[in-house]
């Protein structure tokens, strides 16, 4: 039709045309032919694995020697992360962890932990404190105040028990609470 003259005959023989078409046959070979490669049968009944949910299971606490703690969901814990600045009033928390900067009035809180990178400015009245960073202001710790080697506590400080590691700094007005028994503690500035 296109490019052929009516007078011309096809140059291929009929046998050559059939071998070309046979070599390009994409249909499935017969099951009985010896040249057909054996394929493994597909098995749609493969059992699926269930997802691993152990990452969401509650983890056991420290060990048998530690006192049982309330589950994490029931604790009121506030964590001020690194590079976070918090300003205001904090009330009714079980634990405050400061890794960033806080300017606040802290009341009705059980424990405060100021990490090495943390800073707290303001006033706090708590049960216990562990300070590795910096506290500046009025601090009342009814039980134990621990100042780590990298910690600095400046201002008006009142405590039940005091522990200052070598290198820790405490400066300002420092008083023991009257209702607590005298406990031997590290004294002075620790410089």
- Give the pLDDT score at 76: 85
Please tell me the predicted confidence (pLDDT) of residue 103: 94
* Average pLDDT in the chain: 75
Lookup result for tokens 């049968």: 41
pTM for the complete prediction? 0.55
Q: What phi, psi does 19 have (nearest 5°)?
A: -70, -35
Average pLDDT over residues 116-132: 93
Amino acid 144: pLDDT: 93
Q: List the Cα angle 158/110/171 in 5-degree steps.
A: 25
First to last CA, the chain: 105
Q: How confident is the model at residue 64 (pLDDT cuts 50, 70, 90)?
A: very low
Per-residue model confidence (pLDDT) at position 66: 47
């Amino acid at each position: 039709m296109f490019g052929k003259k009516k007078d011309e005959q096809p140059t291929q023989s009929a046998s050559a045309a059939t071998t070309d078409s046979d070599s390009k046959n994409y249909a499935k070979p017969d099951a009985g032919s010896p040249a057909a490669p054996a394929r493994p049968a597909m098995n749609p009944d493969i059992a699926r694995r269930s997802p691993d949910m152990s990452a969401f299971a509650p983890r056991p606490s420290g060990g048998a020697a530690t006192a049982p703690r309330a589950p994490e969901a029931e604790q009121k814990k506030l964590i001020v992360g690194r590079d976070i600045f918090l300003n205001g009033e904090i009330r009714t928390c079980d634990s405050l962890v400061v890794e960033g900067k806080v300017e606040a009035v802290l009341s009705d809180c059980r424990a405060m932990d100021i990490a090495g990178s943390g800073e707290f400015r303001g006033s706090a009245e708590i049960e216990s404190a562990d300070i590795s960073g910096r506290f500046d202001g009025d601090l009342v710790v009814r039980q134990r105040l621990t100042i780590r080697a990298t910690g600095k506590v400046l201002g008006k400080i009142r405590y039940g028990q005091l522990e200052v590691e070598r290198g820790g700094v405490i400066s300002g007005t420092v008083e023991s609470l009257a209702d607590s028994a005298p406990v031997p503690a590290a004294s002075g500035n620790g410089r």
